[in-house]
Amino acid sequence: MPTIKSGVETQFVQTNSTEVEISPDKKSLDAKDEKFMGEFYNNSRLHLISTMKSDFKKYVNQLRNENKEMVFPKRQTLLLLSDTRCDSSDYCNRNKIMHIDMDCFFVSVSLRNYPDARGRPIGVAHAKGNKSDGTESWSEIASCSYEAREKGVKNGMFVGPAKNLCPELMIIPYDFEGYQAVAKVLYDTVANYTLDIQAVSCDEMLVDLSSLINAVDGIDILSFCEELRKEIYNSTNCTASIGLGPNTLLAKLATKKAKPNGVHGFKGKLTVL
C-alpha cells in the first residue's frame, strides 16, 4: 500500500487573488513525450480514485488484522448517547446500514489551502481558465462547489464552457497528498468504533452498524452519526454527510437527502426521521 500520511499536514495559505497561480514549471506535455503517460497517471483524478479505492480496501483488511480481537475502547463514549427508542431492536435494525460520503471532496480538501475562497463558486482542475488567445480551456473540472452548481456548473464539465457559464468561477488546483491524508482520517475515525466497513472510494464508505448496535445498549444512532461528522470535521476541516437505512439502497438515498453536511435516515419502511 502506498505511504499515506497519518496527519493532515497541508499548510493553509491566505490569498485574496481571484485566480490561483500555477507554477510556470508545470508545462503540458505532448503525447509524444516519453514522460507523458507517467505524468498523466500522476495527475489523473480517475486514476487516483481507482487506486485509492483499492488501497483503502487493503487498509481496512490491515486494520482488521491488527485488531483481530475486535476491541473498540472508544465505544465506551457512546454509552452517553442513549436513546429509549432503541429499546426496540426492530427500530435499530431498520437503520443498521450507514453510508458516509464526504461533501465535494476534491473541492473541500483543496479549499483548505484557500480559506478566503470559501463560499465562492469553485472548481478543481489543472487549468486556470480560458487561454490568453481567446480559446476555451478543455481541462476537465474534477469537482465543483455547491455555489458553482447553483450557477449550472457540473462535475466533468470543461473549464472553458464552465467559465463562460459562470464568469466568477474560481479554479483551484488538485491536492493529491491532501486527498490521501483526509481519506485516511475518515477511515481511521470510523475504525475507532467498528471495522464492518466496505470501502467504496477514497471519500465514501458503507458501514454495517449491527455489531455496534448490539454492543452498545440503547445507542442513539443519529447522535453517533453527528459525533462522527464532528470528529471528521475537527480533524480535516472537511464536512461529511451520512445516510441511514435498512439496506444499502435506502442508506444512499438518505445521504442524498442529507447533503450537504447533514444526517438523514428512514424510520420504518419509508417514513423520514
* Catalytic site positions: 204
Q: Please report the sign of the dihedral spanned by the C-alpha atoms of residue 242, residue 156, residue 161, residue 20.
A: positive
Q: In what order do the strands lie in the sheet with 97-102?
A: 197-201, 204-208, 97-102, 240-245, 263-267, 271-272
Beta bridge partners of 196: none
The separation between CA 43 and the C-alpha centre of its own chain, rounded to angstroms, equals 18
Residue 100 corresponds to which cell in the numbers above?
A: 458516509
Q: Please report the sign of the dihedral spanned by the C-alpha atoms of residue 210, residue 216, residue 217, residue 220.
A: negative
Q: What is the DSSP-derived secondary structure letter of residue 140?
A: B
φ and ψ of 260, to 5 deg: -90, 150
100 and 228 Cβ atoms separated by less than 8 Å: yes
- Return the H-helix or E-strand segment holding 249: helix 248-258
Q: In what order do the strands lie in the sheet with 143-144?
A: 143-144, 122-124, 170-172
